[in-house]
Amino acid sequence: MDSNTMAQIMDVLQRYVFNIANLQGMLRLATPVVLAGLCALITSRAGILNIAGEGMMLFGAWFGVAGAFFFEDAAVGVAAAMLSGLVVSGLFALFSLRFRANIIVMGIAINIFARAATIFLTRLVFGIAGAFSDPRIAGLGPIDIPILKDIPILGPLLSGYTFIVYLAWILVALTFVFLYRTPWGLHLRAVGENPEAAETLGINVGRIRFGAVMASGVFASLAGVYLSLGHLQMFSDNMSAGRGFIGMAVNTFGGGEPLGVFLASILFGFVDTIGWRLQGERLIPVYFISMLPYVATLVALTVFTIRKKRARLAAMQSNSNHDEEA
Amino acid sequence: MSEAEKTAEEVDIATDGDEGKPTLGERLKNSGKALLRRSMTILLSLLAAVLVGSVVILWYGENPVRVYFLLLQGAFGSQRAIFISLQRATPLIFTAVASTIAFRTGVFNVGVEGQFFIGAILGTLVGYAVKLPMILHLPLTLLAGFVGGAVWAYFPTIMRQKLGISEIITTIMTNYIATLLISYLTNYPMRASPTTPETPPVQPTARLLQFVEINGKLGKGTQAHIGILLAIAMVIVVYYIFKRTTAGYEWRMVGLSFPFSEFGGISLDRTFISGMLVSGGIAGLGGIVEILGVWREYKNLFAIGFGFRGNLAALLGGRTVIGSAVAALFYGSMEAGALGLSFSVGIPRQLIDVIVGLIIFFMAAEGMWDFIKHIKVGGAPELVQRTSEDSEV
Amino acid sequence: MTAAVELIKIRKVFPGVIANDDVDFTVEEGEIHALVGENGAGKSTLMNCLYGLYRPDGGSIKIRGQEASIRSNSDAIDLGIGMVHQSFKLVPSFTVAENITLGTEPTKGIFLDREAVHDSVTEISQRFGLRVDVDARIQDLPVGVQQRVEILKALYREADILILDEPTAVLTPQETDDLFVVIRSLVAKGKTVIFITHKLREVLEISDRVTVMRDGKMVGTKATSDTDSVELARMMVGRDVLLRVEKDEAQIGDTVLRVDGLKVLDNRALRAVRDVSLEVRAGEILGIAGVQGNGQRELTEAIVGLRQATAGSVWLNGKDITALSVRERREAGLACVPEDRYVRGLALRATLEDNLIVANYYRPPMSKGPILDLDQIGAYADEMLETYDVRTIGKDVPAFTLSGGNLQKVVLAREISAEPDLLIVAQPTRGLDIGSIEFVHRRIVEARDAGAAVLLVSAELEEVMSLSDRIAVLYEGKLVGEVPGAEATEQGLGLWMAGITGALAEEEVPSV
């Protein structure tokens, strides 16, 4: 390999991969996706098909702005968002689990409702038709972490993000610990895999499902408030832009594991960031980059399922062989 | 009720000694009572939604009675209003019926949204790229719309039948892929002008005439078009298919009981697939009809949620062809009314989505209306079947 | 001595069916008590009431003489009741230890104490002599070992009363012996065991007393030493009235159905049909007797085409139909009255008309091309309902408005009117009243006299004996014995149904 090609490769790597601005953008873009992914994860591990993440996120975004506006304090905004997440997911759980509504229908209804209601509320409460932005909305400022920020190279990569970015990382770790190191996490996984097993051992399946849905509401609303208060302090129509569903995609692609969700989100965040660059350089239109999570999910589902079928077939073989020993 | 009891109710059809069971007369009365119960549920849900809506309106500072009156006026109050209602309802009729076809076979087609758009874009392509006399061009364009939607429905269906993957997730994914794919198409290869992402307009030979273009006085001030007639024709055709064709029989039977259908010799795979393809096709047809009647080129339609609203209308309409069409008409006219509302009173037209959302919430939550259950329903055990046997996700 | 368990007048009703009808059931301390009955007899329901999965609508429960209110599993577990279900309640991705301790995990603060989990389970496993790899994942373990885990689960929670629901269905004979050893040792340690099964041989082998249930009612309890499989079989299925069907001598023709070396798996991938070969000729009724659960369902499903065989072949009129679809087999002359009347035989929410045409709607005269001929269909339906004496106010009513007997008539109408070469009837008169039973029997004989080959599969000994020209018994997936109808005796059939064949050595022959 001659030095010219080497230089070209180094140049590409430097511009796309080792570019601090890109990497920072990647982590920022990944944050709402990670949270949306956790939202999907916690309910899917409990055996619940939750497609209302999008709507919950939107409510979180709106109430975040409302809280930050009226109290001129970003912390209140975050708290308001989380509260809205609990209320919306609480209602969702109540209707789907207790009143036995079809959970898909409920999910679609919540998404449509959230879209309409947030526009409606913007008119009603702020008197604005369209995007709402006001200097009085307190935003989430960047946090400089002492010591960390002074590390050469890694420093700017790890320090200087807003609070929710770090929160997302912490939540990923906490979710892992919860699922695999605490009894409640064990119970939740049992409920998701074999609810009858859990029930016959005295575990309250209904309560766990309810809790999972409410937790997902908190995750989704955090994603929402990050969108509205994280960079620009504003609320606009359909702010979530499908991230709730990308959350489902990273959950599936990440195999339902917290670490998998995190890595998948980073991956998609990375691809998204350089996507715009690539479009700028007229290499690939950004739309195909944006399609990646969805296409990847379909591929992953197909591969997982084929593998599962093969494993099941093998297990059946061994069972009937075992049965043969007579 | 415990998990186990729920499962037992679903599956435990044991013996049925004939002593002590309801008589024939009682059974019929019971099924009549079930119908009564259902109607009451819908009515109560409507009432509850209207009540909550009234609270919202009051909060806004307006008089609910006046607002509802204006709503109805905006929907039906004048000739112009009726035309607008018909126009808004047209795409919803297509997506609602599309959803219903899938529902009846036992499949949840959330992908109507994406199929609508793909049908629209493919139809638009044929609409502007091909030059033919109208008598050929128009049907061809419509056909392209149908084919686009059907093709888009094909992949999730195959994944469901061959691999048992839930169609809910796959269709949601394909919806987003559709949106992005179309964004690409309208920004690059199909782009008409360098300034805005739009396609070239379709040829005049591929247009669906608007009423105002036929006769200046008809539908004046609206974009109502003859697509509504196509919609009605489609409803009649689909209704006929369900009632009087072998395919319709298969769809119905598989939806009512797939173990029975399998036992009788009906091919489950073929039925599910044909149902989904037709469902997708009709959704796609709805997409191209909307383009040919109103826009005449592909503009960004994504903000409008035709597919999801169609899903909801199908549910409101009790998952029957006629019912969904009526529900779609209702939804569309309410939207028209809400438009008028936003001009006269300044209440955002999203109020309608809010109210419809509430109706759906209340309707879907059967358990909420449990107190009505004292109207007892007897008869042979209710059978709940799983729609796709290996569905795991 | 106070009984360990007393169930008094237990009543449990589900929509449309009385699963437990004032059942009295008593189990003594330290005994092995077998509970037998057909599918749907109510034995699982009864035990689920005892275990707290269902709440009885009436009656009471006494444990060791004390009134007990069992509202949930936890209550049952607290009272020392443990249950091992037919379908295991295990979480596949969890380890053995995690499954056993689920719900009562030892904790260190808010975290799981994984060491304690491991150790406590190892201790229990050794104490009772049930060896398992405590850290293995359930999904990697064979079914027999999974069952051991289930038993340990109950023992871990200090169960004194163990309910085992069809435990040997998943075990090889060797493992069954091992299980029996375990059961006996548990009983020696003071446990009480309730054993639900349909395998009469095991009942006779291991139980002290046996109770029979039928149609949700208690039929009777006997000391095992005082009874035999014929009596038990009759208690499980029999009717009080002896029915004899008048039939002419059989006019036997060519072979219509031939089954060759058929092997079929059930839903759990266990061998349900292990090498069955049989022949049915035109104009004769071959009756397959046997208590449900010995492979009857899988056999009929394989012949009809609802289930693929893993080996062997099926021939209809000399044509190999093993690879054909259900529709193709029907077109070749097959018809079937299935044992799952309300799931397979009918679509309860569809109209009678729709139910009647499922096998011929796509052909003339019911349809012309893709269009249904509604007039023809209506006429056909009217004719069927008339000929088969179905009591209904019309053909447009949904099927669930009819009674069981009338519904079976609808199924018969559809299947027999197709004038099939092969008619399979499985458990045709289960749950029907006398009048309907007579009607069904007459129709079956009529079909046979019209030249059809009839394969009758029934757990009702009297029915099989009175209808069949030849009788064979299906036991654990194999046909044991065959005898002409006139020469069959209850005694002989009963022995076969308990798996006791002519030469005892036959059981040890490995399947080919």
Tens of pLDDT, residue by residue over C13-59, are: 887 678 888 999 999 999 999 999 877 778 888 998 999 888 889 89
Q: Does C349 touch chain B (CB under 8 A)?
A: yes
Alpha-carbon distance A305 to B159, whole Å?
10
Confidence at C239, pLDDT banded by 50, 70, 90: low
Integer CA distances (angstroms), A120 to B311, B338, B347, C389, in order: 22, 12, 8, 63
Q: Does A282 touch chain C (CB under 8 A)?
A: no
Two tokens, residue C297: 């369902």
Whether B116 and B287 have beta carbons less than 8 Å apart is answered as yes
Confidence at C436, pLDDT banded by 50, 70, 90: confident
List, in sequence order, every residue forming a beta bridge with C222; answer none if it has no partner: C210
Phi, psi angles (nearest 5°) of residue A256 = 70, 15
C-chain CB neighbours of B261 within 8 Å are 347, 358
* Burial (CB count within 10 angstroms: exposed 0-12, middle 13-18, buried 19+), residue B192: middle
Nearest to B259 by CA among B11, B9, B3, B7: B11
Per-residue pLDDT of chain A (326 residues; tens, 9 = 90+): 567 777 777 777 676 666 777 778 788 889 999 999 999 999 999 999 999 999 999 999 999 999 999 998 888 999 999 999 999 999 999 988 887 778 888 888 898 889 888 988 888 888 887 788 888 787 777 777 777 767 776 777 777 788 888 899 999 999 999 999 999 999 999 999 999 899 888 889 999 999 999 999 999 999 999 999 887 788 988 888 888 988 998 898 888 999 999 999 998 888 777 776 666 666 677 788 788 888 888 888 888 888 888 887 777 666 656 555 44
pLDDT of residue B393: 21
Count CA within 13 A, CB hemisphere, residue A12. Answer: 8
Phi, psi angles (nearest 5°) of residue B118 = -65, -40
Alpha-carbon distance C123 to C110, whole Å?
24
Of the candidates A100, A105, A249, the beta carbon closest to that of B367 is on A100
The per-residue pLDDT of chain B, averaged, comes to 80
A-chain CB neighbours of B311 within 8 Å are 105, 108
Reported as a single tens digit per residue, the pLDDT across A171-205 is: 999 999 999 999 999 999 999 999 989 988 888 99
Nearest to B350 by CA among C90, C154, A123: A123
- Per DSSP (E only), the strands in chain A are 132-133, 234-235
Whether C468 and C485 have beta carbons less than 8 Å apart is answered as yes
Residue B118: strand, helix, or coil:
helix
Count CA within 13 A, CB hemisphere, residue C51. Answer: 27
Give Rg (Cα) of chain B.
Answer: 23
The answer to whether the Cβ–Cβ distance between A294 and B176 falls below 8 Å is yes
Q: Decide the pairing of beta strands C367-368 and C453-458.
A: unpaired
Reported as a single tens digit per residue, the pLDDT across C210-231 is: 999 988 889 999 998 888 877 8
DSSP A15-50: IIIS-HHHHHHHHHHHHHHHHHHHHHHHHHHTT---
The per-residue pLDDT of chain C, averaged, comes to 87
pLDDT of residue B114: 93
DSSP C354-388: HHHTTTTTTSTTTEETTEE-HHHHHHHHHHHHHHT
Of the candidates C90, C174, C511, the beta carbon closest to that of A194 is on C90
Two tokens, residue C246: 């008048």
The secondary structure of C165-212, three-state, reads ECHHHHCCHHHHHHHHHHHHHHHHCCCEEEEECCCHHHHHHHCCEEEE
Reported as a single tens digit per residue, the pLDDT across C190-213 is: 899 999 987 788 888 899 999 999
Q: Give C123 to chain A, closest Cα distance, Å.
A: 20
Confidence at B7, pLDDT banded by 50, 70, 90: very low
Question: In this predicted model, which residue has the larger pLDDT, B81 or A143?
Answer: B81
A-chain CB neighbours of B392 within 8 Å are 305, 308
pLDDT of residue C357: 95
Give the end-to-end CA distance of chain B in Å, rounded to a whole number.
25
Question: In this predicted model, which residue has the larger pLDDT, A153 or C445?
Answer: C445
* Burial (CB count within 10 angstroms: exposed 0-12, middle 13-18, buried 19+), residue B245: middle
Nearest to B62 by CA among B312, B389, B346, B393: B346
CA closest to C346 among chain B residues: B260
Segment of B45-54, B73-82, B284-293 carrying the highest mean pLDDT: B284-293
Whether B13 and B381 have beta carbons less than 8 Å apart is answered as yes
Phi-psi group of C130: left, alpha or beta (phi > 0 → left; psi -120 to 50 → alpha; rest → beta): beta
B-chain CB neighbours of C12 within 8 Å are none
Give the end-to-end CA distance of chain C in Å, rounded to a whole number.
51
Q: Does A219 touch chain B (CB under 8 A)?
A: no
Tell how far CA C239 is from the center of its chain: 19
Two tokens, residue C304: 């009809």
DSSP state of A263: H
ipTM confidence score: 0.81
Token pair 């009984």 in the structure block, residue:
C3
The answer to whether the Cβ–Cβ distance between C102 and A201 falls below 8 Å is yes
Tell how far CA B315 is from the center of its chain: 8
Whether C4 and C28 have beta carbons less than 8 Å apart is answered as yes
pLDDT exceeds 90 at position B305: no
Whether B334 and B352 have beta carbons less than 8 Å apart is answered as yes
Reported as a single tens digit per residue, the pLDDT across C69-97 is: 888 888 898 899 999 988 888 999 999 99
Token pair 């109710």 in the structure block, residue:
B9
pLDDT of residue B376: 36
B-chain CB neighbours of A238 within 8 Å are 303
Q: Does A183 touch chain C (CB under 8 A)?
A: yes
Alpha-carbon distance B174 to C489, whole Å?
65
pLDDT exceeds 50 at position B174: yes
The answer to whether the Cβ–Cβ distance between B244 and C372 falls below 8 Å is yes
- Strand arrangement of the beta sheet that strand C422-426 belongs to: C334-337, C422-426, C453-458, C285-289, C470-475, C478-484
Count CA within 13 A, CB hemisphere, residue C145. Answer: 17
Mean pLDDT computed over C164-170: 84
Reported as a single tens digit per residue, the pLDDT across B250-284 is: 999 999 999 999 999 999 999 999 999 999 999 99
C-chain CB neighbours of B17 within 8 Å are 18, 215, 404, 431, 433
Neighbours of chain C (3+ CB pairs under 8 A): A, B
The answer to whether the Cβ–Cβ distance between B249 and C325 falls below 8 Å is no
Phi, psi angles (nearest 5°) of residue B77 = -70, -20
pLDDT of residue B385: 30
DSSP state of B194: S
Q: Does C338 touch chain B (CB under 8 A)?
A: yes
Q: Is the peptide bond before C365 cis (omega within 30 degrees of 0)?
A: yes
Kind plus residue range of the DSSP H or E element containing C221: strand C217-223
Note which residues in 181-240 of chain C have CB less than 8 A from chain B: 215-216
Mean pLDDT computed over B312-329: 88
B-chain CB neighbours of C340 within 8 Å are 259
Question: In this predicted model, which residue has the larger pLDDT, A217 or B207?
Answer: A217
Confidence at B74, pLDDT banded by 50, 70, 90: confident
Of the candidates C111, C271, C508, the beta carbon closest to that of A181 is on C111
Whether A55 and A38 have beta carbons less than 8 Å apart is answered as no
Two tokens, residue B92: 């919803």
Q: Decide the pairing of beta strands C271-281 and C470-475.
A: unpaired
CA angle, C217 then C223 then C227, to 5°: 85
Whether C35 and C211 have beta carbons less than 8 Å apart is answered as yes
Give Rg (Cα) of chain C.
Answer: 25
Tell how far CA B374 is from the center of its chain: 32
Question: In this predicted model, which residue has the larger pLDDT, B237 or B77?
Answer: B237
Residue B297: strand, helix, or coil:
coil
pLDDT of residue C309: 93
A-chain CB neighbours of B166 within 8 Å are 49
Kind plus residue range of the DSSP H or E element containing B306: helix B306-316
Q: Give C13 to chain B, closest Cα distance, Å.
A: 10
Percentage above 70 pLDDT, chain C: 96
Percentage above 90 pLDDT, chain B: 35
Residue A135: CB partners within 8 Å, gap ≥ 6? none
Two tokens, residue B55: 């609270």
Alpha-carbon distance C472 to B243, whole Å?
46
Residue A163: CB partners within 8 Å, gap ≥ 6? A78, A140, A143
The answer to whether the Cβ–Cβ distance between A326 and C510 falls below 8 Å is yes
